[in-house]
Amino acid sequence: MPTTVAQSLVSGILVGALYGLAAVGLSLVFGVTKILNVAHGELLMLGGYASFWLFTLLGVDPFGGIPLSMFALVLIGLIMYQLFFSRLIKLPTEDKIRNSLLIGFGLGLILQNIALRLWTADNRGITTAYAGATFTVLGVRLPYVRVASLVIAFVFLLALQLFLRRTYIGKAIRATAQDWEAATLMGINVHGIYRLSFVLGAALAGAAGTLVAVGYSVEPVMGMHWTLKSLIVLVMGGIGSIAGTLVGGLILGVTESAAAIWISNYRHVIGLAIFILVLLIRPQGLFGAKEG
């Protein structure tokens, strides 16, 4: 029994890190541009399929191919932003959020159907030579692939943190998130910062999608699922706090896994229920939290 508990705790942490990585892109984009992109999960899906194609068609190792799938998502993100979201950028905040929800909803539908045409409705995984390999610590089985994904997720979050804290551009991004008008008066091209943030969010979704494809599997309808996971983590962790996002992701992963011991069919309902509760108990949301 204790081993079962430890096992599900560990698998909760492993998937939780991916929730964190998935959410951090959404959080960055929302925090800076006030665009709530509900097609974020679809970007993640495209990242997964990008690495699936790279692996099956060109034989590129999924981990080694992460920069490539991120690059693919940079291009897709750029197109998406230029064609659609950039047109909302001048709206007052509330209208911007509302309209971005509609645009994202529509884009999600389009991308999901494009994926259905390109890759069929089947579940796809990336079966590398080392895919099934595991090692055991204190009776808990750990798949190499998922542990590597956890480490990579941590590295990405840390790198993002350093980028935002230490570099000039990173500081400009934070400044724009806090007060875009004051940032403009510093000589910062805020429209450039918006575009950069959106593209960065897409690239992070690409990386997360690859890790999901290699550790779990991808399918065209996964987008909504991952968007919701990201939103849940966002509400729990707060905007603009990368550490908070990571902790939120881990909490969600562990809670789901714990719930799955007793009510396995409802693991995804648990997170959604927590989400609605947080929304109702903290209506001002952790969304409104200032960056720390």
Partner 1 sequence: MLELEGVYAGYKDLRVLWGISLRVGEGELVALVGPNGAGKTTTLRIISGLLKPTAGSVRFYGCSLDREPPHRIVEMGISQVPEGGRIFTGMSVEENLELGAFTARARREKEQRMKWVYQLFPRLEERKNQRAGTLSGGERQMLAIGRALMAQPRLLLLDEPSFGLAPILVEQMFEMIQEINQQDVAVLLVEQNVRAALELAQRAYVIENGRIVGEGSGDALLSFESVRSAYLG
Partner 2 sequence: MTAKKGISLALLVAGVAALWLVPSMGVSDSLLNLLILMFIYTMLASSWNILGGYTGQVNLGHAAFFGLGTLVARILYTGGRPLFLALLAACVVPVAFSMLIGIPAFRLRLRGDYFTIGTLALSQILYITIGNVLPKITYLPIADIQNYQLGPRYHIILASALFTIGVAYALVKSRLGLGMVAVRENEDAAESLGINAFAHKLLALAVSAFLGGLTGGAYAYYQTSYYFNYTFSPPWSLEPVTMTFIGGVGTIHGPVIGAVFFVLLKEWLVMKVGEYHLIIFGVLFLLVVLFLPGGLVEAWERIRRVFTHRPAGKIVLSPSAEGSDLSGNSLASERKEVPMI
* Site for partner 1, rule CB under 8 A: 168, 171-172, 174-175, 178-179, 181-191, 240, 290-292
Choose which of 64, 87, 151, 155 interacts with partner 2 (CB under 8 A): 87
> In the complex, what is the shortest distance from the CB of residue 269 to partner 1, in angstroms, rounded to a whole number?
36
Site for partner 2 in 243-272 (CB under 8 A): 265-266, 268-269, 272
Whole-angstrom distance, CA of residue 283 vs CA of residue 244:
18
CB nearer partner 2, residue 136 or residue 265 = 265
* Sequence letter at residue 59: G
Q: Give the SS3 label for residue 103.
A: helix
- The listed partner (partner 1, partner 2, none) that binds 224, CB under 5 to 8 Å by sort, is partner 2
Whole-angstrom distance, CA of residue 263 vs CA of residue 109:
30
- The listed partner (partner 2, partner 1, none) that binds 122, CB under 5 to 8 Å by sort, is none
**Residue 167 near residue 174, CB atoms below 8 Å:** no
Whole-angstrom distance, CA of residue 174 vs CA of residue 267:
35
**Residue 248 near residue 234, CB atoms below 8 Å:** yes
CB nearer partner 2, residue 132 or residue 285 = 285
Closest CA to 220 of 34, 37, 41, 45: 45
- The listed partner (partner 2, partner 1, none) that binds 98, CB under 5 to 8 Å by sort, is partner 2
Instruction: Output the CA–CA distances (angstroms, integers) from residue 161 to 126, 171, 222, in the order listed.
Output: 29, 11, 28
**Residue 216 near residue 112, CB atoms below 8 Å:** no
Closest CA to 20 of 211, 220, 214: 211
Q: Please classify residue 80 by burial: count the beta carbons closer than 10 Å to its beta carbon, then call 0-12 exposed, 13-18 middle and 19+ buried.
A: buried
> In the complex, what is the shortest distance from the CB of residue 264 to partner 2, in angstroms, rounded to a whole number?
10
CB nearer partner 1, residue 61 or residue 291 = 291
- The listed partner (partner 2, partner 1, none) that binds 91, CB under 5 to 8 Å by sort, is partner 2
CB nearer partner 1, residue 207 or residue 234 = 234
- The listed partner (partner 1, partner 2, none) that binds 89, CB under 5 to 8 Å by sort, is partner 2
Beta bridge partners of 220: none
- The listed partner (partner 2, partner 1, none) that binds 291, CB under 5 to 8 Å by sort, is partner 1
- The listed partner (partner 1, partner 2, none) that binds 258, CB under 5 to 8 Å by sort, is none
> In the complex, what is the shortest distance from the CB of residue 282 to partner 1, in angstroms, rounded to a whole number?
20
The interface mask with partner 2, positions 94-133, x = CB under 8 A, is xx-xxx-xxx-xxx-xx--xx-xx----------------
> In the complex, what is the shortest distance from the CB of residue 11 to partner 2, in angstroms, rounded to a whole number?
20
Note the residue count of the chain.
Answer: 292
What is the C-alpha R_g of the chain? Answer: 19
**Residue 13 near residue 239, CB atoms below 8 Å:** no
Whole-angstrom distance, CA of residue 133 vs CA of residue 223:
28
Choose which of 15, 32, 38, 252 interacts with partner 2 (CB under 8 A): 38
List contacts with partner 2 (CB under 8 A).
Answer: 36, 38, 84, 87, 89-95, 97-99, 101-103, 105-107, 109-110, 113-114, 116-117, 180-181, 184, 224, 228, 231-232, 265-266, 268-269, 272-273, 275-276, 279-280, 283, 285, 287
